[in-house]
Amino acid sequence: MTLIEFTGNRPANTEAAEASLPARATPGRHPTLVLLALAVGGFAIGTTEFAAMSLLPAFAPELGIDAPTAGHVISAYALGVVVGAPLIAVLAARFARRTLLVGLMLLFAAGNALSALAQDYGWMLVFRFIAGLPHGAYFGVASLVAAALVPRERRTQAVSRVILGLSVATIVGVPLANGVGQVVGWRWSFALVAALATLTAVLVQLFAPLGRPVQGGGARRELGALKRGQVWLTLMTGAIGFGGLFSVYTYLASTLIEVTHTSPATIPGVLAVFGLGLTAGTVVCAWAGDRALMPAIGLTLLWSAGALAFYPLAVGSVWTMVAVVFLIGSGGGLSSLLQARLMDVAEDAQTLAAALNHSAFNTANALGPWLAGLALAAGSGLPSTGVVGMGLALSGFAIWAVSYLLDRRAGAARR
């Protein structure tokens, strides 16, 4: 075996890969209830991830810090995601899937409950880092459980149901948490998320199949995913290609106020439109992925590049902005597609690869705004964030093209 293996769309060791998935749900456990329980966790995670940004003006003065410093609280959470996803996936490889999911949600609940009690900036950083640790591992393991509930040809749609919880959070959860923060204080927003996480732990314990660990599984097997070139290519596609969405989203409110000259009261509505686009894209991309996974990934990246290219042309009117923001949000369906792709190429190291998908997306969450910020610092103006985003989406497409060509070559070699 070479150090890095490039394999095709179907794992070379199919039996090992499928054996590493959790057991099928028992007859007494209805798949819809399991998926609902898992989606509640996605809703809780999505609520705290996006709502924390809107709560910065509320908790910064109370913690005695300015707004730029408060932004480090968001970075601490993202760092927790990047660190926690691979670390937990490797260390907990021998745990039953249900046990692991319950433990992850309880840790997430604790991190948010402690955030609600933080009395100074230092402790807030620590608690947000703790809250971020379970994020990637939860989505990764939950996706594996969801995929095992349905036939292979409906796998991507099952995974998308888990991610839909996060999508719906951008429409309902974020405004709710922000409203709670404004009415009764920002601490109660984090307490709300802690309650949702605890509810998820209870629902998962009640409805999810145990998903016993695979015989022979462990840290060494999971780390084997890092030897596979197609795993790296898939992660790079997400880390770079998804960055375009974040390059625009981060500066969307500023663009609406400073360039479109709309009222600040309009911003929540436009952000909700983004969430609607994200939800619609997740559903449509999942449907397409179950029919032709790799082509669906490539077309989604091109779709995102096209939508982002129109962004600088749309900033003059709030109505054109609404339309383009919806289209940009719909490109978020890429997440469930790449999650399913990792299940194909990770072979018997499913847990680590699935968790790393969310480390890749948090890398995109850092890369997109950073590159857009460089463009702004160079004097390019807020509409240029769309151009930066288009470049990232096209770069992700180029990486996908390499992966696709290697797939075709591997398939031809097997024939």
pLDDT given for residue 365 in this prediction: 79
Where are the domains positioned within the chain?
17-217, 224-415
- Average pLDDT, integer, range 28-38: 81
Give pLDDT tens digits for 274-323.
Answer: 989 999 999 999 999 999 999 999 999 999 999 999 999 999 999 999 99
- Average pLDDT, integer, range 77-81: 85
Where does the pLDDT of residue 203 fall: very low under 50, low under 70, confident under 90, or very high at 90 and above?
very high
Rounded to two decimals, the pTM is 0.79
Judged against a pLDDT cut of 60, whether residue 371 lies above it is answered with: yes
> Which range, 28-37, 169-178, 201-210, 363-372, is most confident?
201-210
In the numeric block, the tokens 């996908």 are attached to: 400
**Both tokens of residue 283?**
């559903």
- Average pLDDT, integer, range 74-101: 84
Judged against a pLDDT cut of 90, whether residue 334 lies above it is answered with: yes
Give pLDDT tens digits for 395-412.
Answer: 999 999 999 999 888 776
pLDDT given for residue 68 in this prediction: 63
pLDDT given for residue 246 in this prediction: 85
Compute how many other C-beta atoms are within 10 angstroms of the C-beta atom of residue 34: 26
Where does the pLDDT of residue 9 fall: very low under 50, low under 70, confident under 90, or very high at 90 and above?
very low
Fold of 224-415: Growth Hormone; Chain: A; (1.20.1250)
SS3 for 5? strand
CA–CA distance, 370 with 353 (Å, rounded to integer):
26
Compute how many other C-beta atoms are within 10 angstroms of the C-beta atom of residue 67: 10
Q: What percent of the chain has pLDDT over 90?
A: 40
CA–CA distance, 111 with 17 (Å, rounded to integer):
33
pLDDT given for residue 322 in this prediction: 94
Which tops the pLDDT comparison, 96 or 233? 233
Half-sphere exposure for 388 (CA within 13 Å, toward CB): 26
Report the top-level CATH class of 17-217. mainly alpha
The least confident of 71-80, 314-323, 345-354 is 345-354
pLDDT given for residue 296 in this prediction: 96
Give pLDDT tens digits for 215-227.
Answer: 555 666 666 666 7
Beta strands in 74-187 (DSSP E): none
pLDDT given for residue 221 in this prediction: 65
- Average pLDDT, integer, range 131-146: 88
DSSP 45-75: HHHHHHHHHHTHHHHHHHTT--HHHHHHHHH
Length of the chain: 415
**Same fold? 17-217, 224-415:** yes
Average pLDDT value over all residues in the chain: 83
- Average pLDDT, integer, range 84-99: 83
